[in-house]
Amino acid sequence: MFEGGEDIHALIFDPGQYSIRVGYAQEDTPRADIPAVIGVAPEAKSNNTASKPADQLKYYTDTTFLNISRANSEMISYMNNGIIENWNLFEKMLDYCYANVIQSSAENHPVFFTDAPLNPRVKREQLTELMFEKYQVPAMYMATNAALAAFANGKFNALVLDSGASYTTAVPILDGLVINNAVVKSPLAGDYITLKATEMLESMGIDLTPAHLIAMKEVVQDQEKPKFIKKTFTCPPTDSWMKYMTKRTVQDFQQTAIQISATSPSHYEFPTGYNRLFNQQHSQLTEGLFNHETLAVDKIVVTSISKCDLDVQPALYHSVVITGGNSLMKGFTERVEQEVRAKMPAAIKLKVRAVKGTTERRFEAWTGGSILASIGTFQQLWVSKRHYEEVGKHRINTL
């Protein structure tokens, strides 16, 4: 239990494969949404004889700094398949968040972390140890992001279909708790679509030069060859930086132009100025999400619910919540509903819910945490620093 008074200023951290969302409890949206990538480059040489060692590294965080090409820089994600993997770089991210987003000392704020389904216990314990030992937080709590998304939708019983960057996951929630043995994961998610979109655009001969490499461009007609001039650099961009920026270019196309079951063409202009319509044929690359024998996004919904007790299955079908950035593609929700309806028992009613706003859907887990951490009765659930010192990091796995 943590007794911090009525105004405890709890922080909500929602780390994901694509980005980390950070902000205060009781607020509607995060203060920041930061890419889950750190730029790592050698420290610039100094004329000062007392300069730092030659192998000293400098770390660059957040979009403004990541978009700048630097000599010998490497773009490295601290996440791997939605799980924190590189703890040194994750600490750099937390340092940045406290210094530049929160602008307050970690000791002043309890922290609430969202957690990926089936996250190994050792990872939860490692995060707990880091926050209490290095950052000296007064209290901490963790909850599964799918359960928080359901909570943000006012649901305590639901099947949450979370389609993010690295995975699409079907997570059954009963009385606010995850039924772990019925969670089903599929790698058919945002990164899969990014890969397919990249292959398609390259096969069409479309130049994917990132915007930050273009010094000047001319307006051209639809499908006319682009006319642009690249910036010149004293040190050419690294392969790592180019790969990162090209992926961001494709992701912007993905979020803007790709539709599922497209009914009308989408017009898109690339950073080079090249522009064209993308029609139904070009939207076929999303079919991979739905035509896999076992891992299609609709099939994992049915499989997950089938793993639950028969008496709770109708309630789960009646409350399917769709969330995650990849689900924002136009037509995603309607296609999932259509495909699930064709595979589920005919006698059961299906109800699919997906909030329409881009911000609301991408941040649903964060929002659920913000709401939960604001409730008066929740305050007794914090793991306090004193309790951590008495029981140890294993306490976090009993939540």
The span from the CA of 285 to the CA of 326, in Å, is 14
Looking at residue 263, its pLDDT comes to 72
**Residue 358: burial class (beta carbons within 10 Å; 0-12, 13-18, 19+):** exposed
Looking at residue 47, its pLDDT comes to 55
The span from the CA of 271 to the CA of 269, in Å, is 7
Looking at residue 43, its pLDDT comes to 83
Looking at residue 49, its pLDDT comes to 42
Looking at residue 17, its pLDDT comes to 95
Q: Which residues of the chain have pLDDT under 70?
A: 1-8, 45-55, 262
Domain ranges for the chain, please list them: 1-36+91-144+366-399
Looking at residue 284, its pLDDT comes to 84
Q: For the domain covering 1-36+91-144+366-399, report its CATH number.
A: 3.30.420.40
Looking at residue 50, its pLDDT comes to 47
